[in-house]
Amino acid sequence: MIDPVNNFKIPEEWIARTGLPREELETKVASGMVVVLSDGSVLKRGYTTGTTASAAAKAAVLSLKNKIGSVSVPTPVGLRAQLEVSEISQGRAVVKKIRNDHESDITRGLEFVGEAREAEGIRILGGKGIGIVRRDGLQVPRGQPAINPMPMEQIKAAVQEAVEELGLKGVEVTISIPDGERIGKETLNSRIGVEGGISVLGSTGFVEPWNDHLGEMKGDLIRCTDRVVLTTGRIGMRYSHMLFPDYTVVMVGSRISEGLDYASGDVIICGLPGLVLKWGNTEMLEGSGYATVVEMLEKAPQHARLKEAFEMAIEKGKGARIVVIDRDGSVLMDSKSDSEPEV
């Protein structure tokens, strides 16, 4: 049984411990909405802000001619997401971000509003509650709504489906989050240069659950191998599989130190600079004048703090190989510089 979101093959003993009928479990796993843990627990994934925004946008377009109770949208990993529409009127729809088993997801339950009107082509606008990017160095240009490229593609794909279904020439859709500005103040957005709301994010379309049990599961995965890559996110996972094909790749997010505690043997830490270098030195941006590590890399690639943070990461790694990659998979820093990664 394969988890389609992270392509992890679930061990048979874990499946047996769930106590669920195999057919029922297969259906749930295939939907991408559950994660099976080593003790047999089953945790619920959620949908990202990108998926929720896509659903609100598509529902708003469909509401121009139809009234609907739910909507199906594509996700970046190829699965379909089905979300309920809580309110609908002509040209307007509201979709709530579903609750999940992630203890620190403060966006659970947020309402996303889509408002649509017929137009030429497809245009997506950010309304109230979606932050505006005020600094360089992020994935979205300064002055634009904080909707990252992957979720923007997802939203446009969902809207395109609705346009084709209704036979329209095009639409303009404005997405807003009524409570976004308040929630945005509880995030780190203002520190990285996003003001006035939250960001619309998501590289897979799904929010991974996280609690102590999931930490134990990842610990089991790490303990079961003597060749492991600890990676910080989806991009790191994708390129780690290509750079180090003979290793088990485990996504640990910002919990690199926890992953290291479980690991033994040949250990690699691989990921984007924002997490790996800040793990090395959590204070590397203090007083630097830069909002993000990416901004520092782009504007001052020879900055002394980059090298310092990398050296600190090597020290914290306790012998692990540290590899920092760019978003295109190119290696920016490698503590084992005298040898090339396996490709």
Nearest 5°: CA angle at 105, between 103 and 106? 115
Mean pLDDT over 214-228 rounds to 76
Q: How confident is the model at residue 338 (pLDDT cuts 50, 70, 90)?
A: very low
Average pLDDT of every residue of the chain:
89
Domain boundaries, the chain: 2-44, 47-206, 211-334
DSSP H stretches of helix in the chain = 12-18, 22-30, 49-62, 149-166, 180-184, 189-192, 212-223, 234-243, 256-262, 273-280, 293-299, 304-316
Domains 2-44 and 47-206 share a fold: no
Of 44, 45, 49, nearest to 184 by C-alpha is 49
Alpha carbons within 13 angstroms on the beta-carbon side of residue 221 total 23
Global confidence as pTM: 0.74
Q: Which CATH fold would you assign to the domain 211-334?
A: Rossmann fold (3.40.50)
Of 149, 152, 142, 148, nearest to 193 by C-alpha is 142
Q: What is the pLDDT of residue 239?
A: 83
Which residues are within 8 A (CB) of 58 and not within 5 positions of it... i.e. 6 or more apart? 71, 73, 114, 158, 159, 161, 162
Separation between Cα atoms, residue 37 and residue 32, nearest integer Å: 14
The hierarchical CATH code for the domain 47-206 is: 3.30.2110.10
pLDDT tens digits, 89-121 = 999 999 999 988 766 678 889 999 999 999 999
Alpha carbon separation from 291 to 26, 193, 258 (Å, rounded): 44, 7, 26
- pLDDT > 50? residue 259: yes
pLDDT tens digits, 186-218 = 877 887 789 999 999 888 899 877 655 556 667
The hierarchical CATH code for the domain 2-44 is: 3.30.1990
